[in-house]
Chain A
Amino acid sequence: MIPLRRFFLFAALAAALILPSQTTDPGGGATLAGAPFAPGQVLVRFKPSVPIWTKAASMSMLRTRPLSRIAALDIYVVAIDPASSVEEMIDLFGRNPNVAYAQPNYVYKAQVTPNDSLFGYQYALFNKGQQIGWVPGSPVGNPNADIKAPQGWEETTGSASVIIGIVDTGIDLGHPDLKNKVVGPGRDFVNGDSVAADDHGHGTMVAGVAGAETDNGEGIAGVGWNCRLLPVKVLDALGLGTEDKIVQGLLWAVENGAKVISLSFGAPTTGPALKDALKRIVETDGVVVIAPTGNDNTAVYSPASLDGYVLAVAATDHNDTRWVFSNYGLEVDVAAPGYQIFTTYPVAFSAGSLPYRFQDGTSLAAAHVAGLAGLVRSLKPGLTPAQVMSILRFSADDVNAALYRGKDEYIGWGRINMEKALVPLVISK
């Protein structure tokens, strides 16, 4: 009587499913959802003393068949009945006292790694312990002392609609890694014209870190990947600029669509004019402003010191320790790599060599954070500047916790972590 057999099959299956389920993952969380796995297959490892005929019977009872065996670990790749789901089979195998564990045959994929030819020099984005510098014998960093860029790019590579304003010495508008990323020629408030060319180099270096053309087969990768750059020149060929030019540059950048602004300069003090401008663009226009703490191992410079309006960024190195010249103080919010950062450099200053160089400075640390802020704004355009800044702070890794637990005056909340800032956090019991 076929229905009779069916009934008992149903009942047995129902009992197995309704009874409290046990964890089949030795790590403690058999979570299938959200992670792709090979359909119709499970991996089963039996306990060491289980004889082969018992293994065969265990698989046969559940209408499964071995496809292959990883002999060194005695793990079977098992094909399951098409009428059963992987989750059900894992649950049923897990109830067998002879089974050490059963798991999905998870599918792994390469992380999003750009094909830029010099990406390997960017330890700040992906530190695998590579050499820091051109010269053989240069120091190597600690693997994972980086901002987790490939992991963060898994979630988003940003939007071209998000513009990062580089309010600086200008940008080399013809640089091969930047020319396709700039929104236009920008604005030069130093010379009073409409071409924000870089006659110093600083702005080009900052722009490369924040948003160099990425995955284009040459040069370096920019943290902001698809975000675009708006060149605004407020500092002259010596890297100096007056507050009136800076204020004009800031307001112009906002009028021309900047959602994030990198202000990679500083001074020991600030007049109320710059503070007024920052208050307006943050509170009224909803722009996120990033600034470096300074490179003199002294108190935090302004405008980074203007808490509430500006996210102050200190610098770390290839070992996740504070860069020795990074300024410090209670205003420090986060840190990012700022030592020996490989970035774009003006073609005109490169004397025939590749237009890239290694450079130190909290400006480059701030540029990493500006790129990440661009990605956050791309992913969540409805957030306020205060919320974006909180995300950058709370997702940072407290890499000096052994010395200063929690927020401290050297690296603030810690070195930024793109993965935590962008990728959904897994919440489990």
Chain B
Amino acid sequence: MPRTRRPAVAGLILLALACGLGAPRLRAQETEARLRILPGLGAEYFARTISWDEATRESKLKAVLAVARGELRIDEGFSIGLFAGYGLTNPNGLVFRGLPFSLDYEAGGIGALLIGADIRKAFFQAGDFEFGAAARYERSLASTSELAIRSLNQDGTAEATSSWQRLQVGPFVRYLGYEKFSPFLAVAYDKLWGEFTMAETIAELSGSEAKTVAAKGLFGIVLGTDYEPIPGFRLSGELSAIPYKKLTGGLDMDYGIALRAIFGL
């Protein structure tokens, strides 16, 4: 198994095990189990500071994602979601100096298919507060964008290929004291990593460079809320903030925003 897949798989297994251990306690508190499949839509934006060239350089990786999702509600407080959609990944600022002519990618978003899964499990309640854990894994499949090189006296082409993965795992606490809102706060291990490849062809000159990137921040907080304006329809919004250490020293923050709509409760 490639080294880069291990954290994702291990995280999901651990969370699944944790959810499984917590399930009997919750089930005992409930009068009946419910198993439902709920369709939904989701959108997300994030900007993460990534490092590359053996962590000697950094730039921003931005992504806008839109997905359709199916949520399997196994029990009250226990759901598994699968989603697939399309995303635009913008790695502007990545510089490929291993090519015959160095290239500075500033061409914006590269479209790609996106797949992923998430799982959420509430373990117990204390007063109006619910405590649980959630995990999400998403993967932007490899996609290539062809670009023209026109600044030389020979025209050339560049092919930029992007792929990345992201794993979020962490506990959450949710406030259940409102009728239609249930705000929550989570602490998340949030790992993003990927590979960007640039291939260059200018007449007889050609070369290719693969660059492994990783987000600099690993732990962040997520603040959000679920909102049920009418029965059978739930909106969920969340804002994530992930601190990271800048290459030039000092701390800075990356942000992300996600919205989800779930139909049928």
Binds A, one of B12-20, B187-195, B253-261: B253-261
A393 to B202, alpha carbons, bound, how many Å? Answer: 11
* B163 → chain A closest CB, angstroms: 19
Q: Contact partner of B106 among A380, A390, A396, A428, CB < 8 A?
A: A428
Closest residue of B by beta carbon distance from A82? B253
B203, B223, B237, B253, most chain A CB atoms within 10 A: B237
Contact indicator A7/B97 (Cβ below 8 Å): no
Contact indicator A14/B100 (Cβ below 8 Å): no
A76-92: CB near B (< 8 Å → 1, else 0) gives 00000001010110000
* B84 → chain A closest CB, angstroms: 18
* A342 → chain B closest CB, angstroms: 28
Contact indicator A395/B257 (Cβ below 8 Å): no
* A383 → chain B closest CB, angstroms: 6
Contacts of B103 in A (CB 8 A): 424-425, 427
Q: Contact partner of B152 among A4, A32, A420, A423, CB < 8 A?
A: A420
B72-99: CB near A (< 8 Å → 1, else 0) gives 0000000000000000000011011100
Contacts of B100 in A (CB 8 A): 380, 383, 387, 390-391
Contact indicator B257/A10 (Cβ below 8 Å): yes
Q: Contact partner of A18 among B45, B59, B152, B227, CB < 8 A?
A: B45
A235-276: CB near B (< 8 Å → 1, else 0) gives 000000000000000000000000000000000000000000
Q: Count residues on chain A whose CB falls below 8 Å from chain B CBs.
A: 46
B147 within 8 A of A: yes
B217 within 8 A of A: no
Contacts of B44 in A (CB 8 A): 18
B7 within 8 A of A: no
Contacts of A13 in B (CB 8 A): 239, 257
* 8 Å CB interface, A408-429 against B: 413-414, 420, 422-429
A109 within 8 A of B: no
Q: Contact partner of A34 among B43, B92, B152, B183, CB < 8 A?
A: B92
A69 to B95, alpha carbons, bound, how many Å? Answer: 35
A1-32: CB near B (< 8 Å → 1, else 0) gives 10110110011011001100000000001011
Contacts of A397 in B (CB 8 A): 153
B142 within 8 A of A: no
* B234 → chain A closest CB, angstroms: 13
- Given A391-B205, A426-B104, A7 contacting B95 (CB threshold 8 A): no
Contact indicator B151/A14 (Cβ below 8 Å): no
- Given A14-B43, A427-B158, A428-B108, A395 contacting B237 (CB threshold 8 A): no
- Given A7-B225, A14-B257, A427-B147, A394 contacting B153 (CB threshold 8 A): yes
B154 within 8 A of A: yes
A93 to B239, alpha carbons, bound, how many Å? Answer: 21
A383 to B102, alpha carbons, bound, how many Å? Answer: 12
A387 to B100, alpha carbons, bound, how many Å? Answer: 7
- Given A1-B178, A7-B227, A387 contacting B107 (CB threshold 8 A): no
A98 to B96, alpha carbons, bound, how many Å? Answer: 39
A398 within 8 A of B: yes
A1 to B181, alpha carbons, bound, how many Å? Answer: 10
Contact indicator B237/A11 (Cβ below 8 Å): yes
A72 within 8 A of B: no
Contact indicator A395/B104 (Cβ below 8 Å): no
B166 within 8 A of A: no
Contact indicator A427/B45 (Cβ below 8 Å): no
Closest residue of A by beta carbon distance from B145? A429
Contact indicator A6/B255 (Cβ below 8 Å): no
B128 within 8 A of A: no
B45, B105, B253, most chain A CB atoms within 10 A: B45
* A412 → chain B closest CB, angstroms: 10
Closest residue of B by beta carbon distance from A386? B204
Contact indicator B181/A429 (Cβ below 8 Å): no
Contact indicator B153/A17 (Cβ below 8 Å): no
Contact indicator A427/B105 (Cβ below 8 Å): yes
Closest residue of B by beta carbon distance from A14? B257
Contacts of B158 in A (CB 8 A): 427
Contact indicator B255/A85 (Cβ below 8 Å): yes
A324-363: CB near B (< 8 Å → 1, else 0) gives 0000000000000000000000000000000000000000
Contacts of B253 in A (CB 8 A): 83
Contact indicator B153/A29 (Cβ below 8 Å): no
Contacts of B60 in A (CB 8 A): 32-33, 87
Contacts of B95 in A (CB 8 A): 34, 424
A13 to B238, alpha carbons, bound, how many Å? Answer: 11
B64 within 8 A of A: yes
Contact indicator A85/B47 (Cβ below 8 Å): yes
- Given A11-B237, A390-B204, A427-B147, A33 contacting B152 (CB threshold 8 A): no
B129 within 8 A of A: no
* B230 → chain A closest CB, angstroms: 16
A66 to B31, alpha carbons, bound, how many Å? Answer: 59
Contact indicator B107/A4 (Cβ below 8 Å): no
Closest residue of B by beta carbon distance from A13? B257
B166-209: CB near A (< 8 Å → 1, else 0) gives 00000000010010010100000000000000000011110000
B220 within 8 A of A: no
Contacts of B148 in A (CB 8 A): 427
A143 within 8 A of B: no
- Given A394-B154, A425-B151, A428-B108, A33 contacting B92 (CB threshold 8 A): yes
Contact indicator A427/B149 (Cβ below 8 Å): yes
A406 within 8 A of B: yes
Q: List 16 other contacts, CB 8 Å, given A7-B237, A394-B202.
A: A1-B178, A13-B239, A17-B64, A34-B95, A87-B47, A380-B97, A390-B203, A391-B101, A394-B154, A395-B101, A406-B153, A422-B102, A425-B101, A425-B102, A425-B104, A427-B148
A-B CB contact pairs (8 Å), 27 listed: A3-B225, A7-B181, A10-B223, A10-B239, A14-B259, A17-B64, A34-B104, A380-B97, A380-B100, A383-B100, A387-B100, A390-B100, A391-B205, A394-B101, A395-B153, A396-B153, A397-B153, A413-B153, A423-B102, A424-B97, A424-B104, A425-B102, A425-B104, A426-B104, A427-B103, A427-B147, A427-B158
